[in-house]
A and B are shown apart, each in its own frame.
Chain A
Amino acid sequence: MFAPFMLHAWIVATLVAISAGSVGFFVVARRASFAAHALPLGAFPGAAAASLLGVNELWGLAGFAVLGVLAIDQLQRAGRREVASALWLTGALALGMLLLSLSGRYAESVYGLLFGNLLGIDAAELALVGGCSVVMLVLLAVIARPLLLDSLSRELAAAAGARPSALELLFLGVLGIAAAIAVPVVGALLVFSLMVGPGSAARAFTNHPWSALALTVGISLLTIWSAIALAYVSNWPVGFFVGVAGILCYVVGRWRGGAAALAHSL
């Protein structure tokens, strides 16, 4: 499990968990599950396009994540947030499927991109993922405070001088970067599970936002480490374990939240 060929997988997974976990806290606070689901799926054709052009997968993923951010932001200004996400993600998936079918490498690459693939991460990609995570975390740290305020109360944030539309765009941008680096490891379909699951558990254990953020990252790390270990042992897809961990997190959070509310009322 800790053989040299697995080393890159462990390092990348750790970076992915830290970035996805910290964004996930805000995804839960802003109830942006659908956007968190649509952006990684929207990045899917990027990987197919990159393989057609013969460039690094991550550039394609990042490129399409940016396109997705702009498309969702533009479409949801019309006031229909859910429809915007739905149409962007199905359009992007259909395009990705066409590109993969034209490039002739169909079945196994589709499966890997949708449900995750641990192996085949080289040193160059590792550096790229590291760079992207640092950029993303710095950006998130800059906007964290106004973003949290905006998630809790739009009026308060506006009174404090924040511009909601600019904040939303920056948030989607951060989400897009986190999605692009997570897709090759966890798979486009299950990236959002890694964001939503830990966040939903963490909020039940603490009321303080920053400790909830730290707890989300911690649970996210735990999720992906155990998913990789289990996937390595069983040979089953990583995405399966991430999806199951997501619902476990939520159930634990609900149970704990329910117990706390009961104790409070007694």
Chain B
Amino acid sequence: MISGVGAGFISAFWSNGPVRVALAVGGGAAVVCAVVGLSTVMRRQSFAGHALADISGAGGSAAYLLGINPLLGFIGLAGLAAGVMEMAQVQEARERDLVTGVVLGAGLGLAALLLYLDVTLRSVSNAAISILFGSMFSIAPSIVPTVLTIAVIALAASVLVFRPLLVSSLSVDMARAQGVNVRTASLVHALALALAVALAAITVGAILATALLIGPAAAALQVARKPVSALVLAVAIGLGATWGGIVLAYDSFYWTLGHGWPVSFFIVMLIGGAYVLTSVLAHRDVGALTASPLSGCQER
């Protein structure tokens, strides 16, 4: 048996096929989520991002029923829901909160039904677990190129609208004066958000995807003073948590004899830890709170 850390562990880790797939897919998802998450947190769309992730679970469940790859299901439903929410164009914050909640409820109800049908009609007994909580070590190697292509598209879309959105989240009038088409920019952002959510959903599962989307970005925004450093820090936290989680989950097979702990558990806990750490840092350094140009955009 291989002992905890050492040359044997490392070579076994790297030569393991599912681990390499998980590292590639998880890495892509983490980078995209960190970038898209930044504008999501600054635009105060955390609840919407979370709702999209949960709703995409219904798409994953439908994919099992139809016998297609879950990734397609996640993308399909996340895209549809993002489009509906963007088209509904609810301006007032109170109403937006309510619409998001009600649509989320309907999406979850649909997921409940589809998962029930997965179990009864297709006898996929573990569908609920793998769709809602992720199953990184059983991702088909064949979808890695697709995942990375989607990651590049989402990144490009997000980088393209990052600056216009930053300006418009500070002041819509100022953005219009600078010639920004606010409507198009937020539609492109909604598309990037849907893709990011779908990638997060195959990585850590539909109902845990929020952690990957919101956590690294929110943590970075607490301590960073400039948008660029927030971006770098968010990507670093996302990648660190995802890859660290994979290493810990791989190692956990030796903790409780042959029964590995879930990867998603480690990833979510590492992200939560990073957020708590940056909170402590931000509060110790009170100057950062008042001086940071970004802190104003995320206060509720």
B47 engages A33 (CB within 8 Å): yes
Could you list which residues of chain B lie within 8 angstroms of chain A, going by C-beta atoms?
41, 44, 46-47, 50, 54, 93-94, 97-113, 115-116, 119, 125-126, 128-129, 132-133, 207-208, 210-211, 214-215, 218, 256, 259, 261-262, 264-265, 268-269, 271-272, 275, 279, 283, 298-300
- Bound CA span A82–B101, Å: 13
- List of 6 A-B pairs having minimum Cβ-Cβ separation, nearest first: A243-B109, A193-B105, A33-B101, A82-B46, A90-B211, A94-B268
Q: Are A97 and B262 in contact (CB under 8 A)?
A: yes
CA distance A254 to B125 in the complex (A): 39
Distance (whole angstroms) from the CB of B113 to the closest CB of chain A: 4
Listed residue (A33, A85, A244) with the most chain B CB atoms within 10 angstroms of its CB: A33
Contacts of A39 in B (CB 8 A): none
* A247 B105 Cβ-Cβ under 8 A: yes
Interface residues of A in 16-50 (CB under 8 A from B): 28, 31, 33-34, 36-37, 41
B109 engages A114 (CB within 8 Å):
no
A contact residues around B283 at 8 Å (CB) = 78
B-side contacts of A107, CB under 8 Å: 125-126, 128-129
Say whether A200 faces chain B, with CB atoms less than 8 Å apart: yes
Q: Which residues of A contact B214 (CB under 8 A)?
A: 82-83, 86-87
Cα distance, A31 to B90, chains bound together (Å):
14
Judged by a CB distance under 8 angstroms, whether A95 is at the interface is: yes
Q: CB distance B47 to A242 under 8 Å?
A: no
Residues of B with C-beta under 8 A to A90: 207-208, 210-211, 215, 268, 272
Selected A-B contacts with CB under 8 Å, 11 pairs: A41-B207, A82-B44, A87-B272, A90-B211, A101-B259, A189-B108, A190-B112, A192-B101, A239-B112, A242-B105, A243-B107
Across the interface, do B103 and A247 meet the contact criterion of CB distance under 8 Å? yes
C-alpha gap A95/B207 in the complex (Å): 13
Which A residues from 236 to 250 make CB contacts under 8 A with B?
236-237, 239-244, 246-247, 249-250
Number of A-B contacts (CB under 8 A): 182
Is A97 a contact of B265 with CB atoms below 8 Å?
yes
Closest Cβ–Cβ distance, residue A4 to chain B (whole Å):
26
Q: What is the CA–CA distance of A116 and B217 in the complex, to the nearest angstrom?
A: 33
How many chain A residues touch B (CB < 8 A): the figure is: 53
The answer to whether B112 and A98 touch across the interface, beta carbons within 8 angstroms, is no
Docked pose: A243 CA to B211 CA in angstroms: 24
Residues of A within 8 A of B (CB): 28, 31, 33-34, 36-37, 41, 78-83, 85-87, 89-91, 93-95, 97-98, 101-102, 106-107, 110-111, 114-116, 187, 189-190, 192-193, 196-197, 200, 236-237, 239-244, 246-247, 249-250
| Interchain CB contact (< 8 A) of A244 among B98, B109, B207 | B109
B46, B104, B105, B210 interface centre (most CB from chain A within 10 Å): B105
Q: Would A34 and B108 count as touching, CB distance under 8 A?
A: no
Establish whether residues A31 and B94, one from each chain, have CB atoms under 8 Å apart when the complex forms: yes
Contact status of A190 and B108, CB under 8 A, knowing A89-B210, A236-B113, A237-B116: yes
Check if B279 sits within 8 Å of A94, measured CB to CB.
no
Q: Give A114 to B262 CA distance when docked, in angstroms.
A: 18
Contacts of B269 in A (CB 8 A): 91, 94-95
Q: Are B113 and A98 touching (Cβ within 8 A)?
A: no
- The chain B residue sitting closest to A199, CB to CB, is B98
CB distance A243 to B265 under 8 Å?
no
- When the two chains form their complex, are residues A196 and B116 in contact, meaning their CB atoms are under 8 A apart? no
A110 near B108 (CB under 8 angstroms)? no
